[in-house]
Chains A and B, each alone.
Chain A
Amino acid sequence: MFETLSDRLGGVLKGLRNRGRLTESDVIEVLAEVRTALLEADVNVGVVRDVIERIRINAIGATASTALNPGQQVIKIVNDELVAMLGGETLKITYATHPPTVVLMAGLQGAGKTTNAAKLASWFKSQGRQPMLVGADLQRPAAVEQLRVLGAQINVPVFSEPGDPVATAKLGLAEARRLGKDVLIVDTAGRLAIDAEMMQQVKEISEAVQPKFTFLVIDAMTGQDAVTVAKSFDETLSIDGVILSKLDGDARGGAALSVKQVLGKPIAFASTGEKLDAFEQFHPDRMASRILGMGDMLTLIEQAEKVFEKEKAEATAAKMLEGEFTLEDFLEQLQQLKKMGSLQGVMGMMPGIPKEMKNAEIPDDQVKRTEAIIYSMTTQERARPELIDGSRRIRISKGSGTTVADVNRLVKQFTEMKKMMKQMGGKGMLGGKRGKGAKSAGMPDDLAAALGSRLGPR
């Protein structure tokens, strides 16, 4: 059985050590394993080449995170890249001005067109539409019968006529209009992409019914050939979206990536079972980790990143205690805090915070204004606020849409706070520990007292 990427990378990652930046050899070593993983996942050889190259360019020289080792960092870049490639613009289902909106199903034999035609009909029904199904697969024995049975299950009418699929489709369209159906889903016979005659037939069906949407149904277990199939169907019909079927299997599904790359069209739906309700929107992030076969690596990376934030915060605190905290650092901290949801929520979670601060409602626009002011400063100004003279203050206030008084206040308070922190650090009130190692349950009493005196009487 295939090793997961995490298994395979285990050996590679052991040898890599943290450095300032990701070196080329770091990246190449990991990418070799990623390449194997993608190929084993059935991603097309050509697509793999492009993906690896893209990642290589992005990864080399990327600043190494202190939490993720280079290998893990490359994996993160790979995962993000795959998610971006699989996602992007979603398919917007819009409806024809003159009903019915016609949807054409196309694909190889056995891909799942008939089942998904019914699923799609069921989906349109859930959107409040009145769909109708046309059985234009006159090739496969009992294909129409299959569609009828499914249609009956979901209370959707099914039209078909023996003879010629193109004529059947046309008649189906007429019938849909007669009955006032606003969506028409045309099921067609499975056909080989290299069968010129059959490709011509489906082209004629398409020309006869003028579909608003043509979906290519692709089996998730398809191998390298997915690219040839997708290209050919697209050339003949101009595919609008892909339906990925049989995702309830354990195929890694690299075909999804290949097809997405080649067509540049969205994967609209994911079919996850034989029952008609096993039909959902496609999730690029889930697909990415499935293809990559990351298993537990993803969790590891998440954990590592959490640690990283903590380490960064500790480093920043250390800086503050040494009086080296700049507005730049402060801005970074502000942004970190923002990411964690409302400041109020965050404060509520922390033990040992004086009551006044906990209850204090910190309006987000204050935070925004503070941010804006700092953004309007130059790098030097942020590092050394003492540089900020009158003319600079005017410029900053204009740039941030605040008043000079606001800018003054920020600088004053920041400078005072810096002094205070340095004092505390110097006096050893906080134990004088730098970064890692210092673990206290909450805010030390001295700090609370110092802050409390600034806030006013208790």
Chain B
Amino acid sequence: MLALEIFAPRFAAEAAPTILLALAALTIVFGIGVVVVGRRRSGQVEAIESAPIGVTKVATSVEAVGPTPVSASVNPPANTTTVHDRLAKVRSSFAGALTSALTRSAITQETWDELEEALLRADLGVATTTRVLLPLRELVKAKKIVQPSELRAALQTEMTAQLSNTARELNFDRSLNAPNIWLVVGVNGAGKTTTIGKLAAQQIKLGRTVLMAAGDTFRAAAGDQLETWAQRSGAEIVRGSEGGDPSSVVFDGVARATAKKIDLVLADTAGRLQNNTNLMEELTKVRRVADKGSGKVTEVLLVIDATTGQNGLTQAKQFAQATAVTGVVLTKLDGSARGGIVFAIETELQIPVKLVGLGETIDDLVEFDAADFVAALFD
């Protein structure tokens, strides 16, 4: 108020009301085209508090505490239950929801709502759900389906039909006078390395010789993890240096396989998120280099976690663009997730699901069967 007091001493006592005037003036000025400064959206950074630090300091040298664990190279006991059993074992809420929807006497709007919800709950996605239900709506309109139970059967048929893709076999070119190379790709944590272990065991059972290329040179102890699977399955393994170039590891693997006349190279790669351009380019290079030797890439398997939501479709699109994916391995289907995103992947991208992972042991890998898959959802 100093300036005012200097210029208008007799109004100093009335300083308060002057403010009102000033504000009134401001109001008028605002009303005549002056840009109003917008409210800043306040950030919502919430601080995590920590209690005061104690004073005593303890030696912080890096200690390898405890004895080094022996790597488990013994095979855990095999799983002998069938696919159907294991899928049915899961009391899916999908099945429960369906049952309630389908035990009524007439098909109402509620029936459709419940059906829609059940499909969405299985991660089918909005677009696929609509697509799947559309022909059924027509049938109901035309009075070709009247009972909710009929609707169930029709839904099952419809869903199976949408998955009818013939090429589900793994591509193994016997005519090659060189190793077949199967590249395994996917996002972090999907189950690539474990799948390779299971796949190796399976292929060896079929009478083929297998070599694993430890193409994940980024993740800590990724090579050790794959090595364990090599021991468990009876496959050979080629490793590179940690932090090294994945393409050269795969190339070296193919070279070794060629030299030793090994039938199949299973190439592991580091997990990567599909929106990471650099890493996707790296993957394109891995594929390209893999083909440079005498071997041939005959299969690129995209590993997708069954718990993945709609992002699974984006994953498939991007990985397909980068490496021409030839098939999907749907893992962790022994959980409560239904893996419904594969509907979109198959129907929109025409990429077939070839294998299904049902657990962490070496035998937990089965061929994908559309009818079984859909049927198990209805149990």
Q: In the bound complex, do residue A160 and residue B66 qualify as a contact, i.e. CB atoms below 8 Å apart?
A: yes
What's the least CB distance linking A417 to chain B, in Å? 5
Q: Say yes or no for A257: interface residue by CB 8 A criterion.
A: no
What CA separation (Å) do A142 and B268 show in the bound complex? 16
What's the least CB distance linking B240 to chain A, in Å? 16
- Given contact pairs A366-B16, A406-B16, A130 touches B69 in the complex (Cβ within 8 A): no
Residues 62-73 of chain B, each 1 if its beta carbon lies under 8 Å from chain A, else 0: 111111011110
What's the least CB distance linking A225 to chain B, in Å? 4
Which residues of chain B in 6-44 are interfacial with respect to chain A, using CB atoms and an 8 Å cutoff? Answer: 7-11, 14-39, 41, 43-44
What CA separation (Å) do A421 and B58 show in the bound complex? 74
Q: Say yes or no for B377: interface residue by CB 8 A criterion.
A: no
Q: In the bound complex, do residue B19 and residue A362 qualify as a contact, i.e. CB atoms below 8 Å apart?
A: yes
Most chain A Cβ neighbours within 10 Å, of B14, B33, B72, B229: B33
Quick one: closest A residue to B38, CB to CB?
A306
Which residues of chain A in 378-413 are interfacial with respect to chain B, using CB atoms and an 8 Å cutoff? Answer: 406, 409-410, 412-413
Q: Say yes or no for A152: interface residue by CB 8 A criterion.
A: yes
What CA separation (Å) do A111 and B271 show in the bound complex? 12
Q: In the bound complex, do residue A369 and residue B275 qualify as a contact, i.e. CB atoms below 8 Å apart?
A: no
Q: Say yes or no for A375: interface residue by CB 8 A criterion.
A: no
Contacts of A211 in B (CB 8 A): none
Q: Say yes or no for A361: interface residue by CB 8 A criterion.
A: yes
What's the least CB distance linking B268 to chain A, in Å? 13
> Mostly helix, strand, loop or mixed at chain B's interface?
loop
Most chain B Cβ neighbours within 10 Å, of A36, A109, A138, A139: A109
What's the least CB distance linking B193 to chain A, in Å? 8
Contacts of B328 in A (CB 8 A): none
Q: Say yes or no for B308: interface residue by CB 8 A criterion.
A: yes
- Given contact pairs A90-B46, A130-B58, A346-B37, A333 touches B21 in the complex (Cβ within 8 A): no
Contacts of B41 in A (CB 8 A): 285, 302
Q: What range describes how many residues of B lie at the interface?
A: 35 or more
Neighbour of B310 across the interface among A92, A252, A310, CB < 8 A: A252
What CA separation (Å) do A193 and B337 show in the bound complex? 10
Q: Say yes or no for B171: interface residue by CB 8 A criterion.
A: no
Neighbour of A313 across the interface among B30, B65, B314, CB < 8 A: B30
Q: Say yes or no for A264: interface residue by CB 8 A criterion.
A: no
Neighbour of B273 across the interface among A224, A250, A321, CB < 8 A: A250
Q: In the bound complex, do residue A224 and residue B48 qualify as a contact, i.e. CB atoms below 8 Å apart?
A: no
Q: What range describes how many residues of A lie at the interface?
A: 35 or more
What's the least CB distance linking B102 to chain A, in Å? 18
Contacts of A53 in B (CB 8 A): none
Contacts of A130 in B (CB 8 A): 58, 60
Quick one: closest A residue to B276, CB to CB?
A248
Binding stretch for chain B, among A16-24, A54-62, A201-209, A334-342: A334-342
What CA separation (Å) do A39 and B27 show in the bound complex? 45
Contacts of B378 in A (CB 8 A): none
Q: In the bound complex, do residue B360 and residue A161 qualify as a contact, i.e. CB atoms below 8 Å apart?
A: no
Q: Say yes or no for A25: interface residue by CB 8 A criterion.
A: no
Q: In the bound complex, do residue B308 and residue A221 qualify as a contact, i.e. CB atoms below 8 Å apart?
A: yes
Q: In the bound complex, do residue A442 and residue B29 qualify as a contact, i.e. CB atoms below 8 Å apart?
A: yes
For the A-B complex with A142-B225, A224-B337 known, give 6 more contacts whose Cβ atoms are closer than 8 Å. A109-B332, A221-B309, A223-B309, A228-B93, A334-B23, A447-B28
A–B complex contacts, Cβ < 8 Å, 21 sampled: A93-B48, A94-B51, A95-B51, A110-B188, A130-B58, A142-B71, A142-B225, A145-B225, A149-B220, A153-B220, A283-B43, A306-B38, A309-B38, A317-B27, A320-B28, A353-B29, A410-B17, A412-B17, A417-B24, A440-B33, A456-B4
Closest 9 CB pairs of A and B: A317-B31, A223-B309, A110-B189, A456-B8, A42-B309, A413-B17, A439-B33, A141-B228, A149-B220
